[in-house]
């Protein structure tokens, strides 16, 4: 039989344990109790920033606290990733990352890192395809004709990108390999000059987001020969899918939310619930579609899985093409 002293001690321990658990519950229930910081690894005013601010505004309403966007462009997203990974793992500092920031850039550093050891996935929020565009001076008007042209003129095709190791560069390497064609990659420092040279005919083809190219497309200076994946946005409805001419070729660019590694599960759950609510917001979805972006909200687990799979996919392309940063 237990003594009164033993029972009293057990009761005290149990109450203390309940107090700890109760405190954790209260902390979970109280998140967030102040404004959140959303770090965006792109300059203010660009397409990514516009989407991030739309997202931050609506997320703040659902969480009941302001979500303040902080632009930290440059360095292929590395400064932004470092800032978030070094922040306290309390949910008040988040990263609005493009897929290239988290699945490609870590593969190009001198000391490769597993991004999931630095960041905690919260959920994917959007997807959007790229388009394959050609200069209006090229006879090819669709993907099939472009491949035929390249095969008939080995080594003559050049494909540009905004820089070595970017998603558009890797897509060009993958496209040429899958199509069995020879070509040259032209690396620019940014997309502006690449687009100008594409219009003049110095560049023959490149992958890019359509909104940034729309003005030139409308003027007939460049042609959209294919889209990299299906989309619900009307922006892409009049263009064929590349996989119709090159089966299996498909990819999207996406944005996802990450926090510092070690983000508590209760915080991830609270943020995930807010994301899921946004995922069913028809007005928010329509606003994104007008920008050529599809609302595509996932759980933290799905984002983690996608991060791993796409890291492996693009790692293979990087190794086979011998891509490295000097």
How far is it, in rounded angstroms, from Cα 197 to Cα 201?
A: 6
Identify whether the C-beta of residue 164 lies closer than 8 Å to the C-beta of residue 321. no
Asked if the structure places residue 20 within a domain, the reply is no
How far is it, in rounded angstroms, from Cα 166 to Cα 112?
A: 16
Number of structural domains the chain divides into: 2
Tokens standing for residue 164: 């070595």
Q: Which of 63, 64, 127, 124 is nearest to 291 (CA)?
A: 127
The whole-number pLDDT of residue 16 equals: 40
> Apex CA 207: angle with CA 78 and CA 183, to 5°?
105
Please tell me whether residues 138 and 204 are part of one structural domain: yes
Give the CATH number of the domain where residue 271 resides. Answer: 3.40.190.150
Please tell me whether residues 226 and 83 are part of one structural domain: no
The answer to whether the predicted template modeling score (pTM) of the entire model surpasses 0.85 is yes
Give the CATH number of the domain where residue 197 resides. Answer: 3.40.190.10
The whole-number pLDDT of residue 2 equals: 42
Question: Which of 244, 267, 295 delimits the end of a domain?
Answer: 244
Domain that holds residue 39: 35-128+253-321
Please tell me whether residues 59 and 151 are part of one structural domain: no
The whole-number pLDDT of residue 212 equals: 83
Please tell me whether residues 182 and 123 are part of one structural domain: no
326 residues of the chain, pLDDT tens digit each: 444 444 334 433 333 433 333 333 334 468 999 999 999 999 998 889 999 999 999 999 999 999 999 999 988 899 999 999 999 999 999 999 999 999 999 999 888 889 999 999 999 999 999 999 999 999 999 999 999 999 999 999 999 999 999 999 999 999 999 999 999 999 998 888 999 999 999 999 999 999 888 889 999 999 999 999 999 999 898 999 999 999 999 999 999 999 999 999 999 999 999 999 999 999 999 999 988 899 999 999 999 999 999 999 999 999 999 998 75
With both helix axes pointing from N to C terminus, report the angle between 47-63 and 265-279 in degrees, rounded to the nearest 10: 110
Question: Which of 226, 244, 262 delimits the end of a domain?
Answer: 244
Please tell me whether residues 139 and 226 are part of one structural domain: yes
End-to-end, the C-alpha distance of the chain in Å comes to: 75
Asked if the structure places residue 166 within a domain, the reply is yes
How far is it, in rounded angstroms, from Cα 315 to Cα 160?
A: 20
Cis peptide before 32 (omega within 30 of 0): yes
């Amino acid at each position: 039989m237990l003594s009164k002293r033993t029972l009293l001690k057990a009761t005290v321990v149990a109450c203390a344990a309940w107090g700890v658990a109760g405190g954790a519950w209260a902390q979970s229930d109280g998140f967030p109790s102040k404004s959140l910081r959303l770090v965006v690894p792109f300059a203010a005013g660009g397409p990514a920033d516009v989407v991030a601010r739309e997202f931050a505004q609506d997320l703040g309403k659902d969480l009941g606290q302001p979500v303040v966007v902080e632009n930290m462009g440059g360095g292929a997203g590395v400064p932004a990733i470092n800032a978030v990974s070094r922040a306290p793992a309390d949910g008040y500092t988040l990263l609005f990352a493009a897929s290239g920031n988290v699945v490609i850039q870590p593969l190009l550093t001198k000391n490769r890192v597993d991004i999931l050891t630095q960041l905690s996935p919260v959920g994917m929020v959007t997807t959007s395809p790229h388009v394959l565009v050609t200069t209006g001076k090229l006879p090819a008007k669709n993907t099939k004709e472009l491949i035929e042209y390249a095969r008939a003129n080995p080594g003559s095709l050049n494909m540009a990108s905004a820089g070595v190791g970017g998603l558009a560069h890797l897509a060009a390497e993958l496209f040429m390999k899958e199509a069995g064609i020879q070509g040259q990659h032209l690396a620019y420092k940014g997309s502006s000059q690449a687009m100008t040279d594409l219009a003049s005919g110095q560049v023959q083809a490149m992958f890019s987001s359509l909104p940034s190219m729309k003005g030139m497309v409308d003027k007939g200076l460049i042609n959209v020969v294919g889209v990299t994946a299906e989309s619900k946005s009307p922006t892409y409805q009049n263009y064929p899918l590349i996989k119709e001419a090159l089966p299996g070729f498909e990819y999207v660019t996406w944005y996802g939310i990450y926090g510092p590694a070690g983000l508590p599960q209760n915080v991830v759950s609270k943020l995930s619930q807010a994301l899921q609510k946004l995922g069913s917001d028809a007005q928010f979805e329509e606003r994104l579609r007008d920008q050529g972006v599809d609302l595509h909200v996932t759980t933290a687990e799905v984002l983690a899985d996608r991060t791993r799979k796409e890291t492996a996919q693009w790692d293979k392309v990087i190794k086979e093409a011998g891509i490295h940063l000097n």
